[in-house]
Structure 1
Amino acid sequence: MYEFRRMTRADFPLLTSWLVQPHVARWWNHETSAEAIERDFGPTADGLEASEDLLVFRDGRPVGLMQRSGLADYSEYLEEFEALVDVPPAAVTIDYFVGDQGSTGQGIGTGMIKALVADTWATRPEAPAIIVAVVAANRPSWRALERAGFHRVGEGPMEPDNPIDDPLHYVYRQDRPPAQP
């Protein structure tokens, strides 16, 4: 069972320990100084950003980070998506990583994604779809999306998080299931 809670400043040491893990650093390429963590995660922890940084727990143990935001809240990012695929109003995007290298390859990423999708449908009734862009070279990430029920709907150049990556991204989408009578 997966649970989420908003990240707080007290979680920054754990977040930093994950961001320096080679399997996370390769794709997230994030500065890990205290100043950089404060700059990039502090406003969200304080509720000053439209996005959510969520710690993911499995059986009570922290296993990863997920981010969720409305695409319309970030115009530059929205424009990148719209250049490649149709983006309905109120669409949501997510990002994610499994924190410890020893926990990868066990389906935890897929489980985290499935749980956040279910949570999104429950807590964001206005969201018609979740759309996610992944660097094409990051096969484990896009395979986790596929296993979680996402379908590839486009591909093309987007600004990669890590400048060593090719700009080619795959775009995945999952639509809200029809309401049950």
Structure 2
Amino acid sequence: MITWRNLEEADFGLLGEWLENEHVKRWWNHETTPEAVARDFSPTIRGEEPNEDLLVSCDGVPVGLVQRCRLNDYAEDLAEFAAAVPVSDGAMIIDYLIGDPDRVGQGLGPRIIREVVASTWTDHPGCGEVLVAVSAANRPSWRALEKAGGTRIAEAEMTPDNPIDDRRHFVYRFARPA
């Protein structure tokens, strides 16, 4: 069973370990010192950042992280998405990682994405769509989006999370069910 809760400071050690794993580090390009993890994730816990950091568990065991936020709360991201696709008011975006390398490639990513997107319709009634931009080079990630029911709606030039990547991204959309 997939469940999640808000990230807590007590989770920072585990999150730092996950961010160090090569399959995560390659795409997230995040500093992993305890100070950096606290600096970057504490504002959300304190309510100073308008996004959600969700610690995801499978059968009670933490396996990953999903970040979910309203696109309108992040002007630079909104501008990049809007340059590529029409963006509805209230659109949300997500980012995600499977932290445990032993859980990669087992279909867990699509399950998590599907369930978090489904909960978005209840958790955020004003949201009509969830958008996700993923580096075109990150095949496992965009395949997980497709398996979760996302529709590729564009190929766009966007700022990569990791500066070693080019700007080519695929944009996926999950529409609120009718």
TM-score, normalised via structure 1 length: 0.97
Q: CA deviation at 1:130?
A: 0.3
Q: CA deviation at 1:20?
A: 0.1
Over the aligned positions, Cα root-mean-square deviation in angstroms equals 0.6
The aligned counterpart of 2:16 is: 16
Residues of 1 paired with 2:83 and 2:145: CA distance? 21
Q: Which runs of 5+ in 1 are unaligned?
A: none
Residues of 2 paired with 1:53 and 1:28: CA distance? 14
Q: CA deviation at 1:101?
A: 1.1
Q: Alignment identity in percent? A: 55
The aligned counterpart of 1:77 is: 77
- 1:29-82 CA-to-partner distances (Å, cap 9, x unmatched) read 100112211211010111211100000011111010000000000000000000
The aligned counterpart of 2:134 is: 134
Q: CA deviation at 1:117?
A: 0.8
The aligned counterpart of 2:163 is: 163
Residues of 2 paired with 1:107 and 1:91: CA distance? 26
Q: Which runs of 5+ in 2 are unaligned?
A: none
Alignment length (residue pairs): 178
Residues of 1 paired with 2:87 and 2:133: CA distance? 12
- 1:137-180 CA-to-partner distances (Å, cap 9, x unmatched) read 000000000011100001111110100001100000010001xx
Residues of 2 paired with 1:4 and 1:117: CA distance? 13
SS in 1 for 2:110: helix
Residues of 2 paired with 1:79 and 1:15: CA distance? 29
Equivalent residue runs for 1:38-77 within 5 Å: 38-77=38-77
Residues of 2 paired with 1:61 and 1:34: CA distance? 22
Residues of 2 paired with 1:4 and 1:32: CA distance? 22
SS in 1 for 2:84: coil
Residues of 2 paired with 1:12 and 1:51: CA distance? 17
TM-score, normalised via structure 2 length: 0.98
Moved over 4 A (4+): none
Q: CA deviation at 1:118?
A: 1.2
